[in-house]
A and B are shown apart, each in its own frame.
Chain A
Amino acid sequence: AVAKRAVAEAAQHDKVPRPVGFVPPPPPCPGRIRHFKI
């Protein structure tokens, strides 16, 4: 439990503050679906 908490806190601090309205770029792959997905 301590380890988890520590990791969670550390991760929280590491998180780089993002500018308001920041939209992450779409993942490079897989690409767009041209027709439909079965």
Chain B
Amino acid sequence: APAAPPAPLGCDDPESEAAAEFAVNYINGHSHHGYKFALNRIDSIVVRHQGPNNEIVFLELDLLETTCPILSPTPLANCTVRSFTEHAVEGDCDVKLQKLDGKLSVVASKCHSHADSSEDVLRLCPDCPLLTTLNDTEVLSTVTAALNDHNSKTADAYLRLLEIGRARIQHHPVHVVSVEFAVAATNCSAEEAKDNVEACQLLPDDQSNYGFCTAAETKRPSQNLQVDCQLYGHQVPTPDVPFLSQGTS
């Protein structure tokens, strides 16, 4: 009698977890914006046997955004999942993998992300600031003020904005705009930039130095701006940030 087909894989089987981990590393390694995502749940797994030691695996994954920017060299295992009250962001991914002679490779992947609903956040935390659109005028104003503030005080390289990662606005009891944005060092010192900022260009990939800034601008009851920028130092492509060699938009 022909051998019975193998029992369908469970979503928490070690083989499923290994495939999911491979898929999540691929997704983070090929994303150029925002933050790294961590696995929250394997929604489904379907295995299609193609022949001896040749399988196609379809995964549906439920991911959660972490606090690590995509350019950060921090290993995913050390990245904290953004908490519910920080206004979490969920990613839903469909990934098609091939397992040939025991070796996994990603054939195709499609993801979309969405923030948790404001109602959910406010139900648990009525005064929590909520995510706002990245082109909100208050957000753009705070990012500009924060970057100018950093560049006016640093003795290091003049930093340029790469992208705004996230922004939240709290309206009461105080009015605070909180922003996070990715930056890159230029070929100027902050002092040189004062004379001719147009000449300050991003460093070439083989010398690139990316970083990340967080800022909070209190508008009411009093004006206050707090800025913290950290540069990662020059990074060579790693499994955690493999796309560095392809540059960033």
Residues of A near any B CB (own CB < 8 A): 28-38
- Contact-residue size bin, chain B (C-beta under 8 Å from the other chain): 20 to 34
Contacts of A38 in B (CB 8 A): 64, 84, 88, 90, 116, 120
A29 touches B88 (CB 8 A): no
- Pick from B40, B43, B44, B120: contact of A34, CB below 8 A: B40
Interface residues of B in 21-38 (CB under 8 A from A): 38
* Contact A30/B40 with A36-B84, A38-B116 known, Cβ cut-off 8 Å: no
Hey, which chain B residues are within 8 Å of A36, CB to CB? Answer: 40, 64, 84, 88
B81 touches A29 (CB 8 A): no
Contacting pair B12 A32 (CB below 8 A): yes
Report how far A38 CA is from B13 CA in the complex, Å: 23
Contact B120 A31 (CB under 8 A): no
Say how far A33's CB is from chain B's closest CB, in angstroms: 5
Q: List 15 A-B contacts (CB under 8 A).
A: A29-B10, A29-B11, A29-B44, A30-B62, A31-B11, A31-B12, A32-B41, A33-B40, A34-B41, A35-B81, A36-B88, A37-B41, A38-B64, A38-B116, A38-B120
Closest approach, in angstroms, between the C-beta of A12 and any C-beta of chain B?
A: 29
Nearest-neighbor residue (CB-CB) of A36 within chain B? B84
Neighbouring B residues of A35 by C-beta, 8 Å: 38, 40, 64, 81
